[in-house]
Amino acid sequence: MRIAPSLLLAALTLPLAAPAYADKPTPAASADTTKREVQITVDATTTLAGTLLSPKSSKQGAPAVLMVHDAGGSRADVKDLAEKFFKQGFFVLSVDLRGHGQSAVAGTEFSSLDDQAKTTLWNAALADVKASLSFLREQPGVQVASLSLVGYRTGCTLVTRHALRDEAVRALALIDPQADQYGLSVMKDVEGLGGLPTLVVLPKGDDRSEKRLVEAASRATSVKNADALTVLPSKEGSGTTLADKRVPAEIVKWIQGRVSPQKGKG
């Protein structure tokens, strides 16, 4: 479990017109890039279909991001965002979780299950996140100390829970988080994230979720950490937050500012 050394996850609401991290440079990626479809073995009965985007190798290596889609969705949910990370020099792995997309087998399609079976499958998908990160770490050129997780809607429940258990995760982005779904609670898990930098993209007018996140963060510790939680409002509503054309670019910049080596280091 992630230890919380210092944290009041202090919310910093970013206006899209002038993000607080806009002064951080975003280097362009090399044109020498690769894209390949991959198969990730989770266990004897579960194999995931995924897409791995790999930048040109370098002596320093490159940071990496794992993208986790919404319940009932697929990796296509985050395809455009994955491409933006890729173009900025990140390794990017997006997968179809068990029961979803190309990873579904007959009788296990998420959409066809009853509520209890959906809850069981979604919790089992925590193993998919773990296996996918292990696969990503094994790729030549990946900076294993610069791994980030991006969750979309209900996918936020999986990445937040995993981050509690994995000290190697450097940053977390939660896009339109569905707070309590299938027995997992983003709000509860946020309390245990310690000083992990976390970006939350909220749909237009969702002041209630922002307030709950701040309250959850404040219960984690009495020590302030202004960089821990950043709230980024979208101009679009729930389910369409990424349709706000500025949001994907801001997500990439924010994560890049937290995982890229500082000058004179690394």
Query: Is the full-model pTM beyond 0.95?
Result: no
Domains and CATH numbers, the chain: 9-259 (3.40.50.1820)
User: Averaged in consecutive runs of 10 residues, what is the pLDDT profile of the chain (266 residues)?
Assistant: 45 42 42 81 95 84 96 95 95 97 92 95 97 96 93 95 93 90 88 86 74 62 59 84 90 92 44
| Distance separating alpha carbons of residues 158 and 150, to the nearest angstrom | 10
Q: What are phi and psi of 212, to 5 degrees?
A: -65, -40
What's the pLDDT score for residue 125? 97
Decide if 153 contacts 161 (C-beta within 8 A): no
d(CA 165, CA 46): 22
What is the identity of the amino acid at 123?
N
Looking at residue 206, its pLDDT comes to 67
Order of strands, sheet of 225-233, starting from the edge strand that comes earlier in the sequence: 9-13, 225-233, 198-202, 169-175, 142-152, 62-68, 91-95, 46-54, 34-43
